[in-house]
Amino acid sequence: MSDEIPGEVLAEISTELVRLHHRFYGKGPNKAKSFFVDDTVLCLLKGALTTAERTLVDEGNANGVRRLRDDLGKAMDAPAKAIVSKATGRGVIARVSQVQPDVDLAVEVFVLEPPSAGYPEPPPHEAAGLRE
């Protein structure tokens, strides 16, 4: 795939991540939009909190939501990476997922392997997601 990811591919990633969230949390986000910059796919997911999570936020326990999302996020790691890898045709070096419960926003960040055409193998520390 070229240095750009077509809009329809980004829309597919957004749709599939919404489905994945629905499968894991019982409710998917109301809005999702994905972006591509410098070998990175970023997906903003809005309106993703469940009724129980909103109750925790209303009671001042946003950290409880973060802990729950962090634990479930670990289980979602492989399927989320697979969605992005399949859609882009590139491997995923790393996934970072974060929720901001007070504004009902989740962010998924995927760092992609460099495109194979015309690019050398990344150094081992970069392939592991590390920078010198």
pLDDT at residue 131 in the model: 44
Q: In what order do the strands lie in the sheet with 31-37?
A: 31-37, 40-46, 105-112, 92-100
pLDDT at residue 44 in the model: 97
pLDDT at residue 109 in the model: 98
**pLDDT string in tens for the chain (132-residue length):** 446 888 999 999 999 999 999 999 999 899 999 999 999 999 999 999 999 999 999 999 999 999 999 998 899 999 999 999 999 999 999 999 999 999 999 999 999 999 874 444 444 444 444 444
Task: Yes or no: say if 74 and 11 are a contact pair by the CB < 8 Å rule.
Answer: no
Q: What angle do CA 68, 82, 33 make, to 5 degrees?
A: 70
Q: pTM for the whole thing?
A: 0.82
65: which residues sit within 8 A by CB, 6+ positions away?
Answer: 49, 53, 56, 57, 99, 101
Cα–Cα dist 48/88, whole Å: 24
Task: Yes or no: say if 98 and 107 are a contact pair by the CB < 8 Å rule.
Answer: yes
